């Protein structure tokens, strides 16, 4: 009797877990399917290379794509050098049990949980106002840089962790200066981690709306320089969906472009690194 009931429970729970997993697959297919179905026939070369017309109801998204790309480049240019340097300090230079390094790690944990709208407020106060950059690519990019910093540092640290300790002790035994050991041996070996961090950072920066809407502005003119305001692709989707009557058809097209870009980025990081390493970067 008991064995019978146990067998029944086992079968039931197997069903429950299959159902949970399949419901996730179905929701994913539903969302992506909807966007592809409504957006696919609107996307062509002209859409990607012309300026929007009638507030985005017609025309393309060229200035928006350029703006999104520039925001991303600024954020990477600002965050990569300092992020990699911090990661090297934390995992190579800092003595074990160092209070300072511990404090920096804690602070980065907090930073990775800060809601993006709070980054938006911060960017507005610091870059737009205190540093007089106004609504610009520079303000938006620097705000995004702060946002992707924890992810980048964690990825680089994971990369550094995969460097065999013998590289460090070996180079120390040969009397190679730490600087050149770092530059010639340790950083190249940590490259896969840094690359995955870059890709995840690009994805995060490109998907972001709340952090750039008060820092980069919402202009749909083609930017002339880094001090010009731009509208990111994600923000463009929001505006088309909410503020422009009759803009929803075009919001599908913009969503499809953004989702395709991000899916490619996610898959690329999937191919580039074993999942357990990447997961440690994502969920610390």
Rule CB under 8 A: which of 246-265 touch another protein?
Answer: 248, 251, 255, 258-259, 262-263, 265
Burial of residue 76 (number of CB atoms within 10 Å: 0-12, 13-18, 19+): buried
Q: Which of 50, 55, 89, 277 binds another protein (CB under 8 A)?
A: 89
Least distance from C-beta 180 to another protein, angstroms? 10
Question: Is 135 a binder of another protein (CB under 8 A)?
Answer: no
Which of the residues 152 through 171 are near another protein (CB under 8 A)?
Answer: 153, 168-169
Q: Which of 37, 46, 53, 100 binds another protein (CB under 8 A)?
A: 100
Least distance from C-beta 184 to another protein, angstroms? 14
Question: Is 272 a binder of another protein (CB under 8 A)?
Answer: no
Q: Which of 62, 189, 210, 260 binds another protein (CB under 8 A)?
A: 210
Radius of gyration of the chain (CA): 23
Nearest to 226 by CA among 78, 52, 118: 78
Least distance from C-beta 29 to another protein, angstroms? 9
Q: Which of 68, 86, 136, 156 binds another protein (CB under 8 A)?
A: 86
What six digits make up the tokens of 13?
Answer: 């729970």
- Asked if residue 255 lies in contact with residue 35, where contact means CB atoms within 8 angstroms, the answer is yes
Which of the residues 189 through 208 are near another protein (CB under 8 A)?
Answer: 203, 206-208
Question: Is 126 a binder of another protein (CB under 8 A)?
Answer: yes
Tell me, residue by residue from 7 to 26, as one string, x for binding to another protein by CB under 8 A and - for no binding: x-xx--xx-xxx-xx-xxx-
Q: Which of 44, 49, 270, 274 binds another protein (CB under 8 A)?
A: 270
Which of the residues 212 through 241 are near another protein (CB under 8 A)?
Answer: 213-214, 234-235, 237-238, 241
Question: Is 28 a binder of another protein (CB under 8 A)?
Answer: yes
Question: Is 148 a binder of another protein (CB under 8 A)?
Answer: no
Which of the residues 32 through 61 are near another protein (CB under 8 A)?
Answer: 34-35
Question: Is 146 a binder of another protein (CB under 8 A)?
Answer: yes
- Asked if residue 183 lies in contact with residue 73, where contact means CB atoms within 8 angstroms, the answer is no
Q: Which of 42, 50, 219, 266 binds another protein (CB under 8 A)?
A: 266
Q: Which of 151, 163, 182, 198 binds another protein (CB under 8 A)?
A: 182
* Residues touching another protein, count (CB under 8 A): 97
């Amino acid at each position: 009797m008991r064995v019978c009931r146990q067998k029944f429970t086992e079968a039931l729970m197997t069903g429950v877990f299959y159902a949970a997993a399949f419901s996730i697959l179905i929701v994913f297919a539903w969302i992506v399917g909807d966007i592809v179905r409504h957006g696919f026939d609107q996307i062509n070369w002209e859409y990607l290379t012309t300026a929007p017309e009638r507030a985005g109801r017609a025309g393309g998204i060229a200035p928006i794509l350029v703006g999104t790309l520039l925001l991303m480049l600024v954020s990477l240019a600002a965050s990569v050098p300092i992020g990699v340097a911090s990661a090297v300090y934390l995992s190579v230079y800092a003595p074990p049990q160092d209070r300072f390094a511990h404090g920096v790690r804690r602070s980065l944990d907090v930073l990775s949980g800060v809601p993006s709208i709070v980054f938006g407020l911060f960017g507005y106060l610091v870059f737009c106002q205190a540093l007089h950059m106004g609504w610009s690519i520079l303000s938006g990019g620097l705000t995004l840089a702060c946002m992707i910093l924890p992810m980048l540092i964690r990825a680089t640290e994971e990369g550094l962790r995969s460097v065999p300790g013998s590289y460090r002790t070996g180079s120390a035994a040969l009397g190679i200066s730490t600087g050149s050991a770092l530059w010639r041996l340790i950083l190249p070996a940590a490259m896969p981690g840094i690359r995955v961090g870059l890709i995840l950072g690009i994805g995060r920066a490109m998907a972001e709306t709340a952090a750039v809407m008060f820092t980069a502005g919402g202009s749909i003119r083609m930017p002339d320089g880094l001090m010009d305001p731009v509208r990111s692709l994600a923000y463009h989707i929001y505006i088309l969906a909410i503020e422009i009557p009759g803009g929803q058809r075009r919001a599908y097209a913009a969503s499809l472009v953004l989702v395709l870009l991000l899916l490619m980025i996610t898959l690329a990081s999937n191919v580039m690194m074993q999942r357990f390493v990447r997961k440690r970067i994502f969920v610390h």
